Amino acid sequence: MRTQSVYKSTRSSVSKEEQATTSASGRRQAWTTVKQAARTREVPREEVLAALEQLERAASGSEGPKETAGTLQDLAGSWRLVFSAPGAIKQWEYIPVAEDVIYNTDSNTIALASDLGPLRTVFKGSFSWDASKRSMQFGFSQVELTLFGRTFTRDLGGSQKTYDFFAIGETCACARSSRGPLTLLARV
């Protein structure tokens, strides 16, 4: 019994500074985990999901993750979709095909290109950016299918989707989709 009361008093005497150091250390470890997952695809899915959730919680906190507080300009260029969870098929949480998202921040356009054997699919659309929330609302208005050198184009009328980015770095970015899953992207 005495041990419990000593433990409780020790726990309650942890300073806010020590708690901040611990949470900063946890954020750094989570960021290291997602960067490794983006680079190797070998981190167990449970660890990736836990790291993404920790980064998301930290981003919503008052101190936020300073090292990953990117801007729209930091998203410019090509990104590969690496991981999306929780998913219906756990084995596919690491995206099994090459799917690249291209953000053109000058024209606010987006493209999603997927390759599967001889089939190349490119969805094209536009996006808007809310800098205060680091939130991107986007939709695809056209699809191009290329099969054996022949290209077919079709206009789309689809719904808007939102990515709320909670970590943006040089090599990877993390977001929550409006449809639920946490998403990890790697710079191509």
pLDDT 10s digits, 28-65: 999 999 999 999 999 999 999 999 999 999 988 755 54
| CATH code: domain of residue 153 | 2.40.128.280
Q: Does 17 have pLDDT greater than 70?
A: no
Helix axes 45-60, 16-40, angle to 10 degrees: 130
Q: Which pTM was predicted? A: 0.82
Burial of 15 (0-12, 13-18, 19+ CB in 10 A): exposed
Q: What pLDDT digit, counting tens, does each position of 125-155 carry? A: 999 999 999 999 999 999 999 999 999 999 9
What are the CA-CA distances from residue 19 to residues 26, 65, 66 (Å)? 10, 15, 16
Percentage of the chain exceeding pLDDT 90: 68
Residue at 109 is within a domain: yes
Residue at 76 is within a domain: yes
Residue at 7 is within a domain: no
Q: Which residue has the higher pLDDT, 24 or 57?
A: 57
d(CA 136, CA 8): 44
Domain that holds residue 63: 15-187
Residue at 1 is within a domain: no
Residue 49 phi, psi dihedral angles, 5° rounding:
-60, -45
Residue at 8 is within a domain: no
Task: Give me the number of domains the chain comprises.
Answer: 1
Both tokens of 103, joined, read 């953000």
Residue at 81 is within a domain: yes
Residue at 9 is within a domain: no
Residue at 10 is within a domain: no
